[in-house]
Structure 1
Amino acid sequence: GRVSASAKSKAASKDELLTMIQHGADSIFRDTSDVASGFDDDIDQILRHGEEKTAELNSKYSNLQIDDLKNFSSESAYKWDGEDWSHKRKAESVALSWLGPAKRERKANYAVDDYYKEALRTGTRTPSTKAPRPKKYNTEDFQFFPSRLIELNERDTLYLRKSLGYKLPPVNAEEGATAKEINRLEKERDAEQKRIDAAEALTEEEEEERKELYARGFFDWSKKDFATFINACAKYGRSNYGLITSDLEETKTLEETKAYAKVFWQRYKEIADYERHISKIEKGESELEKQADIQGQLTEKVKKHRVPIQQLKIQYTQPTKGKNYTEEEDRFLIVMLEKYGYGTDNVYDNIRHEIKQSPLFRFDWFLKSRTSQEIARRCNTLISLIQKENVEAQEAEEKKPQAKGKGVKGKLTENTKSKRR
């Protein structure tokens, strides 16, 4: 249909016109016989009939009012020329209904397990006469429970194994084990099995005691809290309870942190692998002492001068002076480092911000373009110069009393000689 419609819309080509002439189209237009006149009459009749039908429809719909339009229904759309086409449409749909797919049937789902479960059920299950197991008290070494609670938990575990009829597996010695080692392992197994067989249930008094002992430990401290406590001690020092509490994400109060820290430093050897935790804390504290020492030297250096940005002097060595940084820039870096504190968070980012805001370096594009890492490296170089200067000054101070003693002794000798003369 689409191809034929497009073909009609196109103008006749040269070959098509030639074909029409060859097949008598020219004779139809030129012929004056009755055939041609009849053909013309038929066309005129068709046109006249169409005009009459158009006039009839125009007169019919010109008299329609708004009320007539309200009575319009979709059923009238199938009525044309006094014929109801809706029945014909239904007949066509019924005739083509056999082309539709068959209706899908749902398969029955037979619950075989449920059927046999109901069929074989002979009676209701009798309620168990065993008493429910008491609450299990999980303990961790970093929670610092009393040793008596550990003992009661162990006894309860042995009795549980006995009630289940648990038997220790035979000794599985490693390859190359001697007879003496195998004999020792068998003795240990037999001793443990005897403990299981001789175990007795805890009394009500012991259960109450265990409940009370459990409340004495730090049962609300999780592994995450313990790890955070260790890291905070290494970062801020073991006695800085305020900052340690702030790192615990508001799960612990200051009093709870102090209480835990007190017990920790008394019983830390009870924790497995405690050497690693203590080493981490001590390493962090040594770093804090180093930072405090450097900060003290910076403060002493800056406080010596009334206007340190202009008056502060740096004793350069030939390799460290360099050609990039000027003495004015170095003085500014030392003053800002002392202001924000050596080792504090974002200290070099703050110095970089101060450089950009300072009018002293408005056109100093070299210093303004330095990154935080480059500023940190330059500050470390300046710190080493200050430390070397302080060491040299201390050594010179220690040598002064000896030089003074030698001078006094020499003068006394000269005076004695002059008197003798």
Structure 2
Amino acid sequence: TQKLRLDQLVIQQNRTSLKKKENKADSKDALLSMIQHGAADVFKSGTSTGSAGTPEPGSGEKGDDIDLDELLLKSENKTKSLNAKYETLGLDDLQKFNQDSAYEWNGQDFKKKIQRDIISPLLLNPTKRERKENYSIDNYYKDVLNTGRSSTPSHPRMPKPHVFHSHQLQPPQLKVLYEKERMWTAKKTGYVPTMDDVKAAYGDISDEEEKKQKLELLKLSVSNSQPLTEEEEKMKADWESEGFTNWNKLEFRKFITVSGKYGRNSIQAIARELAPGKTLEEVRAYAKAFWSNIERIEDYEKYLKIIENEEEKIKRVKMQQEALRRKLSEYKNPFFDLKLKHPPSSNNKRTYSEEEDRFILLMLFKYGLDRDDVYELVRDEIRDCPLFELDFYFRSRTPVELARRGNTLLQCLEKEFNAGIVLDDATKDRMKKEDENGKRIREEFADQTANEKENVDGVESKKAKIEDTSNVGTEQLVAEKIPENETTH
């Protein structure tokens, strides 16, 4: 029957592991457990239908009477219900014994119960998705307006040493007062210095014995410290006003660079480079204090050497400019008559001609040696000059190559006038006036060139308008003549 087939399928599809199927002892235990299924409940049951009330042999107790007819009737009804249930099932339906059917027991699907009671509430009420807040106004004002103090008192700490920047030119006596004030603050709070305070005060010290000595010295300074007097407080305020705390490290480095570029006495040029961060009065005051107290600055020898090297270059350029002026003043027409007493040595390689050298010297004197773009201007003059229209070698020289040749020619002039040139005050004043005149002439020349360009543009626009009007008149004349020719034909 179907029930026998069901028992056969259940036994054949025992849900034990493969290892248990291969083990005969496990198979026997599994089969015995199926046969004895429910027997323990029958014996332990205390109901009237159970056998718990049956007296054990030799106990002398009488159990409750059991109605065998009623028990047999229930068994028959149970058998009929099972037969009716499995008569409709075929072999294919009985073989659908899989993992999902294991959740069904006594007609109740426990899988649906798990889905309903455990999983569904989690899906219906998912967790709230929140963005990570980088800034919260409520939390900010909550912390700001929270005036409550912590219940645990904070331990006293030693004040950190005052940071001194040497380029700010603060008096060294001010550092002594700051240190005295720091020791007195530590003494008032009852603080005892540690090794961390030694590192903050004296820096990294590798020797342990020296560290201990510094620590003892620090403790002694704290124990013997005294508050600042009224006179010392006044001196502290005066010395604080003498420093330049508004000058940062970047502005100081720029001041050093510009001082070397224009010279230490060119205050206006230095102020133009430092504007708008610093005014002319601020630069003048700092420059005066800098050169008066340069020894206070850390590594001042390095900065002084940088400025002096740049000033030496400026001095050499001025001497070359003076030598070039004297050389050109010896000739009425230097472009054709100028000759060098110590000309550069000529090798077998292609060199510059005398005309080319004279033209380079003339252009250098025209624009001035102190300009950064002087050799770019010389190159443009060479390309615009009709005398060198067919000199492709000279026209193709780059500013770097022209600078190399110009330096060689200027060195030749230095040999010729080196002994006779003295940069006294009169010479410096004259050279300064020449520089101002040269600058004025260059500005006038630039304005004249711009005006000429505007005039040329105006002439070109007028010419274009005239051509347009003439073209329109010609078109009208042709249009008028066409009908006449058609009528004559």
Q: TM-score, normalised by structure 1?
A: 0.56
**Residue of 278, 282, 293 corresponding to 1:256:** 282
**Do the aligned residues in 2 keep the contact of 1:320 with 1:381 (CA within 8 Å)?**
no
Q: What is the aligned residue count?
A: 274
In structure 2, the partner of 1:286 is: 312
Q: How far does the alpha carbon of each residue in 1:380-418 deviate from its partner, in whole angstroms, 9 at most, with x for none?
A: 221222233446999xxxxxxxxxxxxxxxxxxxxxxxx
Partner AA of 1:158 in structure 2: M
Q: How far does the alpha carbon of each residue in 1:176-214 deviate from its partner, in whole angstroms, 9 at most, with x for none?
A: x9xxxx4x7654442222112233455687556534432
Mark the CA change 1:126 to 1:167 in structure 2 (over 3 Å): closer, same or farther. Answer: closer
**Residue of 340, 343, 346 corresponding to 1:314:** 340
Partner AA of 2:324 in structure 1: L
Kindly state the Cα deviation for residue 323 of structure 1 after the two structures are TM-superposed.
4.2
Q: Which runs of 5 or more structure 1 residues have no equivalent in the other structure?
A: 1-101, 110-122, 395-421
1:217 maps to 2:243: yes
Kindly state the Cα deviation for residue 265 of structure 1 after the two structures are TM-superposed.
1.3
1:156 maps to 2:167: no
Kindly state the Cα deviation for residue 276 of structure 1 after the two structures are TM-superposed.
0.7
Partner AA of 2:167 in structure 1: F
Mark the CA change 1:137 to 1:252 in structure 2 (over 3 Å): closer, same or farther. Answer: farther
Q: How far does the alpha carbon of each residue in 1:87-137 deviate from its partner, in whole angstroms, 9 at most, with x for none?
A: xxxxxxxxxxxxxxx66712599xxxxxxxxxxxxx95479999xx99997
Kindly state the Cα deviation for residue 215 of structure 1 after the two structures are TM-superposed.
2.3
Kindly state the Cα deviation for residue 301 of structure 1 after the two structures are TM-superposed.
1.0
In structure 2, the partner of 1:195 is: 221
1:165 maps to 2:191: yes
1:380 maps to 2:401: no
Q: Which moved more, 1:384-393 or 1:325-334?
A: 384-393
Mark the CA change 1:145 to 1:351 in structure 2 (over 3 Å): closer, same or farther. Answer: same
Q: How far does the alpha carbon of each residue in 1:299-349 deviate from its partner, in whole angstroms, 9 at most, with x for none?
A: 111122222222212343552696442211110001111222224311111
In structure 1, the partner of 2:40 is: none
Mark the CA change 1:196 to 1:135 in structure 2 (over 3 Å): closer, same or farther. Answer: closer
Pairs within 5 Å for 1:173-184 = 182=209
**Residue of 344, 368, 371 corresponding to 1:341:** 368
Mark the CA change 1:106 to 1:208 in structure 2 (over 3 Å): closer, same or farther. Answer: farther
Pairs within 5 Å for 1:12-91 = none
Mark the CA change 1:389 to 1:322 in structure 2 (over 3 Å): closer, same or farther. Answer: farther
1:277 maps to 2:303: yes
Distance, in Å, in 1 between the alignment partners of 2:367 and 2:328 is 13
Partner AA of 2:194 in structure 1: L
Distance, in Å, in 2 between the alignment partners of 1:159 and 1:318 is 76
1:244 maps to 2:270: yes
Mark the CA change 1:279 to 1:391 in structure 2 (over 3 Å): closer, same or farther. Answer: closer
Mark the CA change 1:263 to 1:320 in structure 2 (over 3 Å): closer, same or farther. Answer: farther
Partner AA of 2:273 in structure 1: D
Mark the CA change 1:343 to 1:321 in structure 2 (over 3 Å): closer, same or farther. Answer: farther
Kindly state the Cα deviation for residue 166 of structure 1 after the two structures are TM-superposed.
4.0
Question: What SS does structure 1 have at the residue aligned with 2:195?
Answer: coil
Kindly state the Cα deviation for residue 138 of structure 1 after the two structures are TM-superposed.
4.8
Distance, in Å, in 2 between the alignment partners of 1:298 and 1:332 is 13
Partner AA of 1:231 in structure 2: T
Partner AA of 2:356 in structure 1: E
Kindly state the Cα deviation for residue 220 of structure 1 after the two structures are TM-superposed.
1.1
In structure 1, the partner of 2:254 is: 228
Distance, in Å, in 1 between the alignment partners of 2:274 and 2:160 is 29
Mark the CA change 1:385 to 1:321 in structure 2 (over 3 Å): closer, same or farther. Answer: farther
**Do the aligned residues in 2 keep the contact of 1:159 with 1:196 (CA within 8 Å)?**
yes
1:325 maps to 2:352: yes
**Do the aligned residues in 1 keep the contact of 2:159 with 2:182 (CA within 8 Å)?**
no
Question: What SS does structure 2 have at the residue aligned with 1:194?
Answer: helix
**Do the aligned residues in 1 keep the contact of 2:320 with 2:413 (CA within 8 Å)?**
no
Partner AA of 1:308 in structure 2: P
Partner AA of 2:270 in structure 1: I
Mark the CA change 1:356 to 1:272 in structure 2 (over 3 Å): closer, same or farther. Answer: same
1:352 maps to 2:396: no
**Residue of 144, 161, 171 corresponding to 1:146:** 171
Distance, in Å, in 2 between the alignment partners of 1:257 and 1:166 is 45
Question: What SS does structure 2 have at the residue aligned with 1:299?
Answer: helix
Q: Which runs of 5 or more structure 2 residues have no equivalent in the other structure?
A: 1-122, 131-146, 199-203, 422-489
1:105 maps to 2:115: no
Question: What SS does structure 1 have at the residue aligned with 2:217?
Answer: helix
Question: What SS does structure 2 have at the residue aligned with 1:319?
Answer: coil
**Do the aligned residues in 2 keep the contact of 1:139 with 1:219 (CA within 8 Å)?**
no
Partner AA of 2:290 in structure 1: F
**Do the aligned residues in 2 keep the contact of 1:158 with 1:195 (CA within 8 Å)?**
yes
Paired-residue identity, %: 32
Q: How far does the alpha carbon of each residue in 1:224-261 deviate from its partner, in whole angstroms, 9 at most, with x for none?
A: 11111111111111111111111213222222212111
Distance, in Å, in 2 between the alignment partners of 1:211 and 1:372 is 57
Mark the CA change 1:328 to 1:260 in structure 2 (over 3 Å): closer, same or farther. Answer: same
Partner AA of 1:326 in structure 2: S
In structure 2, the partner of 1:43 is: none
In structure 2, the partner of 1:403 is: none
**Do the aligned residues in 1 keep the contact of 2:294 with 2:300 (CA within 8 Å)?**
yes
Partner AA of 2:126 in structure 1: E
**Do the aligned residues in 2 keep the contact of 1:232 with 1:244 (CA within 8 Å)?**
yes
**Do the aligned residues in 2 keep the contact of 1:297 with 1:387 (CA within 8 Å)?**
yes
Distance, in Å, in 2 between the alignment partners of 1:212 and 1:391 is 51
In structure 2, the partner of 1:265 is: 291
Mark the CA change 1:246 to 1:294 in structure 2 (over 3 Å): closer, same or farther. Answer: same
**Do the aligned residues in 2 keep the contact of 1:230 with 1:281 (CA within 8 Å)?**
yes
Partner AA of 1:331 in structure 2: R
Q: Which moved more, 1:338-347 or 1:227-236?
A: 338-347
